[in-house]
Structure 1
Amino acid sequence: MTATQGTTAPPATLVAAFFGFLVSAVSALAGGLVVLGMEAEPADAVRRSNPGFTEDQVGSAVTLGQATVLGTAVLIALVYLWLSFKLKAGRNWARVTLTVFTALQVAAVVTGDGNTRVGYAGAAVAVLALVLSYLPSSSAHFRRAR
C-alpha cells in the first residue's frame, strides 16, 4: 500500500475554504500592522484617560499597546494557519474551532472592536470560508477522514 492510498484529496469547496481562512489570517496581521501605523490617535486616547502622564509615559503606553495588538494579531494568524491546514486535512474539530473563531471575529466587527475596512473584509472572507466548509461536499470529506 502506498502513502497516497486511503487518502482522498479535499473537494474544491474545502480548498476554497482553506484559502479563505488563509486570507483571514493575513487580514489579522494587516490589522495589527494598521495599529502600528497609528501614532496620534492612541496617544490622544492615553492622554485623555491619564491626564497626569508625561510624554514619555504616553509614548511608553502607546508602544506597549501597539506591541500587544501586534503580538495578538501574530498569534491569531498563526492559530488560523494551523487550523486551516487541519481543516483541509479533514479534521472536524478544526472546523468547529474555526466556527467559534469566526463568530468571535464577526462579533468584534459588529460591536465596533474591529470595525475597520480590514476587519470587515477579514470577517466577510471568514464567513464565506466557513459556509464553504459546511457545504455537502466538504462535509463528505470530513466523514471520509474519520
Structure 2
Amino acid sequence: MSDSTDLPRFPQDVSPGPAGAATPRPGTINGAFWAFLAATVISIVSGLLVLTQRDTLADALRKSDTGLTAQQVDQATTVALVAAVVIAVIIALLYLLFAVKLRAGRNWARIVLTVLTALQVLSLLAGSGGSWIGYLSCLAAVIGVVLSFLPESSAYITAARTVRR
C-alpha cells in the first residue's frame, strides 16, 4: 500500500504570480479532456450515421397509418433527420465546452460531465437499443469521469479554484 506522500502535491495557496503563471495541469486532466473529446467525436459520428437511416424512418412513418401522402412522408423524414443532426451537434458542442472548462480546472464542468455520463450509462442500461458506437462513446465518457476524479485531478481543480479567488 502506498503512502499518500507518493501522490503529486499541488499547492493549496497558489497565486498567479507576476506573469499570471497557472498551476501545472496534470496528465489525468489532460487524459479526461481527450476522453471527453473522443466521446464527443464518436457521438457526432453516431449522429451523422442517422442520415443513413432515411429509408427505415420513412418506412416507419408509412406503416404508422397516419394517412400521410408520399410527399408528406418525405418532408417529415427530412425534418426528423435534420432535427436529429442539429440536436446531436448542439449537444456535442456543449459537451466540448464542458470538457474545455474541465481542462481549465472548473469543478462545475466536472460535475456536469459526470451527470451527463451517468445519464448516458443509465440510458444504455435501461435498454434504449444502444449501438456499438453508443457503447464506445459511453466508455470514453466513463474513462473521462474516472480520470477527472483521480487525486491528481482533484488537487488541480482545488488549486485552480484557489487561483481564481
After TM superposition, the score normalised by the length of structure 2 is: 0.82
Which of these two proteins has the greater Rg computed from alpha carbons?
2
Equivalent-residue separation in structure 2 for 1:80 and 1:139 (angstroms): 20
2:73 matched to 1:36? Answer: no
Cα distance, 1:93–1:99 mapped onto 2, change above 3 Å: same
Equivalent-residue separation in structure 1 for 2:53 and 2:97 (angstroms): 29
- 4+ runs of 1 displaced by more than 6 Å? none
- What are the Cα deviations for residues 32-81 of structure 1, in whole angstroms up to 9, with x where unaligned? 10001212211111112244111111111111111111011100110011
**Kept after mapping to 1: 8 A contact 2:54/2:81:** no
Give the CA deviation at 1:9. Answer: 2.1
Letter in 1 for 2:26: P
SS in 2 for 1:52: coil
Q: Which residue of 2 aligns with 1:2?
A: 19
Q: Which residue of 2 aligns with 1:22?
A: 37
C-alpha RMSD of matched pairs (Å): 1.3
Q: Which residue of 2 aligns with 1:111?
A: 126
SS in 1 for 2:105: coil
- Among all aligned residue pairs of Structure 1 and Structure 2, give the percentage whose two residues are the same amino acid: 44
After TM superposition, the score normalised by the length of structure 1 is: 0.93
SS in 2 for 1:2: coil
**Kept after mapping to 1: 8 A contact 2:36/2:144:** yes
